[in-house]
Copies of this chain bind each other. A is one copy, B any other.
């Protein structure tokens, strides 16, 4: 499998009061089309990753809203898989190219969250979890707090180790002018920030964000560049209560195994990764489930600075969901963009040396959907 990442475009992430969802989607799309050195008319299909617009703005049918704004009559699709909507859109776009049906496709991940009152956003996001969990009073931080508590109990993971994820990702974000929070924080700052759901604090948590990312993917394999060489999605029960284990995301393991096999790679070949750190515990689980370290060792692995810029395999050089921001439908596409920039060697102060193979992991809900991509030069 060899799909070219022909163009990329990314808006600033943050509280973007002066832009609506369409503004953001078009800004990213036009940048990606321009970067691909093609014209709008060269686009054969548009795949939109978006979770919330139907619920919080009443606007469904986002595919043709975007195609018509680009002056196109081509096929368009909205893909929804909670916070993995962007990653799933990339996966499905790849299938359209591999099928031979489409040559150049635009994938747009976009979300506009800050216009809605926070109570509405909390309700809307909980749509990613099961109705039983919601009826039991669980919120998203509470679900991840259960995963964190299980990890602490079984593997003696500490709150300081969780906090190290946030500290590292804020450091990376401090080097990224697209990040929502481009500044450093300390372990103490994380530990002393407002409690959300024990052991998760405010600074263990990714924010509510606006933003969009777009990529042009292409069947063109003539030239040098960055290619997606593995793409896999897996699923798991939507309820935590039905899972075999609370200390791993099975869907991450399955998707990673498949995507790496497609690419003919081992996890040890990966030089840079973007993973789904919606809460700090999620990045620790990702390190273990992807195979970067042994099960139970995620906290120590992060603390060892292996995954910090300069380490063996920097993770979340964008700042991750925690510090770059998490406009949910955009996140999976942004991950592809960050790795593409790393592999193009255009990441500036965030550049990982010798980055020739990268990986992305995008999670929906508490792991009911996971999408993994492998990219290579």
How many angstroms from the CA of A60 to the CA of B61 in the assembled complex? 15
Determine the distance from Cα of A95 to Cα of B102 in the docked complex, in whole angstroms.
Answer: 10
| A325 interface contact, C-beta 8 A | no
Partner of A64, one of B54, B63, B369: B369
**Does chain B have a CB within 8 A of A72?**
yes
In the assembled complex, the CB of A167 is this many whole angstroms from the nearest CB of chain B, namely 31
Task: Decide if A355 is an interface residue (CB 8 Å cutoff).
Answer: no
The answer to whether B126 and A58 touch across the interface, beta carbons within 8 angstroms, is yes
Dominant secondary structure at the A interface: mixed
Please tell me if the beta carbons of B76 and A233 are within 8 angstroms of each other in the complex: yes
Q: Which of B74, B80, B100 contacts A78 (CB 8 A)?
A: B80
Do A236 and B64 have beta carbons less than 8 Å apart? yes
Q: Return A273 CB to nearest CB of chain B, in Å.
A: 21
Given contacts A63-B369, A127-B59, A368-B64, contact A254 B73 (CB under 8 A): yes
A235 and B75 contacting across the interface, CB-CB below 8 Å: yes
A19-47 residues with Cβ-Cβ distance < 8 A to B are 45
**Once the chains are docked, how many angstroms separate the CA of A123 from the CA of B60?**
11
Question: Which residues of the partner chain B approach A250 to less than 8 Å between Cβ atoms?
Answer: 73
**A interface, how many residues as a size bin?**
35 or more
- A80 and B80 contacting across the interface, CB-CB below 8 Å: yes
The answer to whether B73 touches A251 (Cβ under 8 A) is: yes
The reply to whether the CB of A128 lies closer than 8 angstroms to some CB of chain B is yes
A92 at interface by CB-CB < 8 Å: yes
Q: Is there an interface contact between A58 and B232, defined as CB atoms closer than 8 Å?
A: no
Query: A51: CB under 8 A from chain B?
Result: yes
A235–B232 Cα distance when bound, in Å, is: 28
- The answer on a CB contact under 8 Å between B68 and A76 is no
Confirm or deny: A98 has a beta carbon within 8 angstroms of a beta carbon on chain B.
yes
* Chain A 69-83 per-residue mask, 1 if CB under 8 angstroms from chain B, else 0: 000111111111110
**Interface-central residue, A73, A130, A233, A364, by most chain B CB under 10 Å:** A73
10 closest A-B pairs by CB: A98-B99, A60-B127, A64-B368, A75-B233, A64-B235, A68-B237, A61-B82, A95-B99, A95-B95, A67-B235
Return 7 A-B CB contacts under 8 Å, by A number: A55-B55, A55-B60, A58-B123, A61-B129, A61-B369, A68-B368, A94-B99
